[in-house]
Amino acid sequence: MKLAAGSATHTGLVRGNNEDSFLVDNEHVLYAIADGMGGHRGGEVASRTAIEALRASVAAGLPVHDAIVRANSAVIERATGDEELTGMGTTLTAVVVAGGRQLLIGHVGDSRAYFLHDGELRRITDDHSLVEELVREGRLTPEQAESHPQRAIVTRALGVDTDVDVDLYTIEVEAGDRVVLCSDGLTTMVRDRDVERLARSEPDPQRAAEVLVDAANRAGGEDNTSVVVIDVVEVDAVSAPDPELLAAPAEPPRPMAPAPDPPPPPEPPAPRASLGRRVRGALLLFLPLVLVLGIAIGGVAWYARRSYYVGFANHRVVIYRGVPGGVLGWNPTVDQSTRLVDRQLTQIDHDRVTGGAARGSLSGARQFLATLEADVAATSTTTTTTSTTSTTRPARKAKQPAPKPSRPTASTPR
């Protein structure tokens, strides 16, 4: 497969530094976008560390999934022992050739991959963000999500947890197709239909990347914007049968061989196994199944009693031990109660607690609980303080990862 790529990045019109990083590695046919978070210099270091680890891992022969997992470890190790980098993280979306006519996309976070085929653009990746989850659950419309005040909160990123879930997407491509990778600095400022129009109108991939970044800045440039455009120039030809073999003459008929001797009469059937041997055979067959079932039940019980989440009990916020709804008879029990009640929470926090937030370890549940208490305290302080109306437009809220539904994640300003 032959590809051609172009790239562009810009700090934007509001931010003071560029926390985005991108990769165009034609030698290893590897392309990626990373959007860092963490404030000060943390976001810039996180995205650059992830890109460098990704490139080294793919060059060493690792598949893209394992390369992204290794990039996650590299970001965590880089932040260890450095207070200025504590809590930093980054998104990462990467494209490699999977062989034949296929491209493979690995994805964590809210950067995006789009696929332009026959003049129509469609989004390949799902955003790992709070508002995107609310859209998928039907609680927000896509239009509401575009202006939601918490649209910058990501729910999955590299550098937040030692275990990271990587989404993988495979797409079948043809010559003339185009893949667009971008940070959310583009998608928060430019609608998908305009991304499609601009990506379709400019045939040169380098010029297309520059045009898309310029469009984000013309719309306000509230964030760093990075774009990588990948064009499919040629694809591997499908192997066809050898035409000489198709045209070969048929073999002449072979002379008939003499009729074989009649087969010997069948031997009498062997006597049936005794009842005892049949019982022993059945036991040997079913005992491993029973053993596997017992191990599975034990594993579920172990998981249920070592898992925690935040929920409501009699309108009060509590930490439950177990999993929401229970499993195989192991029902959740209240491990820790708090003074917070449901009416003190915002609608977003209330919905998350209702859905069983911060599922995973006890420390993750306590951390999420501390975040709720801080939010309630901040809200109370705000309501008792006289506010002054300002005519200036507020700056965009820093991006920060939110606790994941499946495991604890640290909240990191972006």
Angle, helices 362-383/347-354, rounded to nearest 10 degrees = 160
Round to whole Å and give the CA distance between 46 and 66: 18
Round to whole Å and give the CA distance between 239 and 410: 51
Q: Which residue has 């650059």 as its token pair?
A: 48
Return the domain boundaries, the chain. Answer: 2-234, 308-384
Which residues are within 8 A (CB) of 233 and not within 5 positions of it... i.e. 6 or more apart?
2, 3, 4, 175
- 8 Å CB contact between 20 and 223: no
Buried b (16+ CB within 10 A) or exposed e, 258-273: eeeeeeeeeeeeeeee
- 8 Å CB contact between 9 and 229: no
Helices within 139-191 (DSSP H only): 142-146, 184-187
Round to whole Å and give the CA distance between 179 and 123: 10
The model's pLDDT over 26-52, given as tens digits with 9 standing for 90+, comes to 999 999 999 999 866 899 999 999 999
β-pairing, 178-182 with 225-234? antiparallel
Q: What is the pLDDT of residue 361?
A: 82
Class of domain 2-234 (CATH, top level): alpha beta
- What 3-state DSSP class applies to 244? helix
- Nearest to 184, CA basis, from 130, 231, 118: 130
The model's pLDDT over 149-186, given as tens digits with 9 standing for 90+, comes to 677 789 999 999 999 999 999 999 999 999 999 999 99
- 8 Å CB contact between 68 and 109: no
Q: What is the pLDDT of residue 231?
A: 98
Q: Which two tokens stand for residue 233?
A: 């120039």
Extract the residue ranges of the chain whose pLDDT is less than 70. Answer: 39-40, 147, 149, 238-286, 290, 292, 294, 296-305, 327-330, 380-414
Q: What is the pLDDT of residue 300?
A: 58
- 8 Å CB contact between 64 and 98: no
Distance from chain centroid for Cα 125:
8
Angstrom CA distances, 36 to 75, 197, 380, stand at 11, 28, 32
Q: DSSP string spanning 42-106?
A: HHHHHHHHHHHHHHHHHHTT--HHHHHHHHHHHHHHHHTT-GGGTT-EE-EEEEEEEETTEEEEE
3-state secondary structure 369-381: HHHHHHHHHHHHH
Strand partners, 9: 226
Q: Which two tokens stand for residue 186?
A: 């583009």
Round to whole Å and give the CA distance between 22 and 204: 19
Give the number of other CB atoms < 10 A from CB of residue 88: 33
pTM score, whole prediction: 0.59
Q: What is the pLDDT of residue 312?
A: 85
Round to whole Å and give the CA distance between 76 and 79: 5
Round to whole Å and give the CA distance between 71 and 168: 16
Where are the strands (E) in 263-386, listed by range? 308-313, 316-321, 333-341, 357-360
- What 3-state DSSP class applies to 285? helix
Phi, psi at 178, each rounded to 5°: -140, 140
Q: Return the ∠ at Cα 97 (arms to 92 and 101), rounded to 5°.
A: 135
The dihedral region occupied by 109, where left means phi > 0, alpha psi between -120 and 50, and beta the remainder, is left
Round to whole Å and give the CA distance between 144 and 31: 32
- 8 Å CB contact between 402 and 130: yes
Which residues are within 8 A (CB) of 145 and not within 5 positions of it... i.e. 6 or more apart?
131, 132, 134, 135, 151
The model's pLDDT over 261-271, given as tens digits with 9 standing for 90+, comes to 555 555 555 44
Identity of the amino acid at 139: R
